[in-house]
């Protein structure tokens, strides 16, 4: 019987899910949908949240299909950032996330476990972490100054999350567990940033929920990846 590559790919991507992971996704999506109906949320915000949460969860599972939802979510979030005056995030998503996610597809494809079709994880050395920290601090300071000069609505939050997100995306493509520590910081700050915008009148409740869920997922997948690396 001839093989069906598409069927085999879908089967591999749907395998290895825990019941609590699937249940968690269903609960979160129900919350987003109910919230969108009650609060009359922006439809683009809802789509961005759903795609973003699927991307983060599937990436945490180490499955290459995450980039499909990542690209869709990138387009939606770019529009939201533009409308909200978050120019650092807009530049980040269009100028960096979009091409890096395409690069991630090819990078992950070269490092998939032949049996499970899940990526092989790794960790940075202490020296690499120190160098990365210095680069992040220097770039963040410069970015904050630039965004403030351009009249961005939240220059500090926007600048810090922009640079940390660049580092996090780079580490995601490189399959490093260290990405999850950076995502914890980015997601926590981003949640606060969007909460501030909501209090100012922006209707993007689903986006706020998305960042809170991201924060929880970053903690969860850091634990999962650390457990897997410790078994080696």
Q: Does the predicted TM-score (pTM) go above 0.85?
A: no
Asked if residue 218 has pLDDT above 50, the reply is yes
Instruction: Indicate if the pLDDT at residue 33 is higher than 50.
Output: yes
Query: Is the confidence at residue 2, as pLDDT, over 70?
Result: no
Summarised one tens digit per residue, pLDDT across range 81-115 is 888 887 777 887 888 888 999 999 999 999 988 88
Q: Give residue 3's pLDDT band: very low, low, confident or very high (50, 70, 90).
A: low
Domain boundaries, the chain: 20-230
Is the pLDDT at 25 greater than 70? The verdict is yes
Helical H segments across the chain, by residue range: 5-14, 19-39, 43-60, 66-84, 87-92, 98-109, 126-150, 155-173, 179-199, 205-230
Mean pLDDT along residues 207-219 = 90
How far apart (Å, rounded) are the C-alpha atoms in residues 139 and 222? 25
Residue 1 predicted with pLDDT over 50? no
């Amino acid at each position: 019987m001839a093989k069906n590559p598409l069927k085999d790919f879908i089967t591999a991507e749907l395998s290895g899910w825990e019941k609590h992971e699937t249940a968690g996704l269903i609960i979160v999506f129900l919350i987003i949908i109910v919230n969108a109906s009650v609060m009359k949320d922006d439809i683009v915000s809802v789509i961005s949240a759903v795609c973003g949460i699927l991307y983060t969860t599937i990436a945490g599972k180490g499955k290459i299909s995450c980039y499909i939802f990542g690209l869709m979510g990138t387009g939606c979030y770019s529009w939201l950032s533009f409308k909200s005056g978050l120019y650092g995030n807009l530049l980040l998503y269009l100028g960096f996330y979009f091409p890096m996610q395409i690069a991630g597809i090819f990078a992950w494809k070269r490092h998939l476990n032949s049996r499970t079709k899940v990526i092989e994880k790794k960790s940075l050395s202490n020296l690499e972490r120190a160098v990365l920290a210095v680069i992040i601090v220097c770039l963040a300071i410069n970015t904050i100054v630039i965004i403030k000069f351009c009249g961005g609505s939240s220059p500090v939050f926007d600048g810090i999350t922009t640079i940390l997100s660049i580092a996090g995306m780079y580490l995601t493509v490189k399959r490093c567990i260290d990405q999850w520590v950076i995502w914890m910081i980015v997601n926590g700050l981003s949640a606060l940033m969007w909460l501030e915008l909501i209090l100012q009148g922006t209707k993007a409740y689903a986006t706020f929920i998305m960042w809170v869920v991201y924060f929880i997922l970053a903690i969860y997948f850091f634990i999962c990846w650390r457990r897997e690396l410790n078994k080696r």
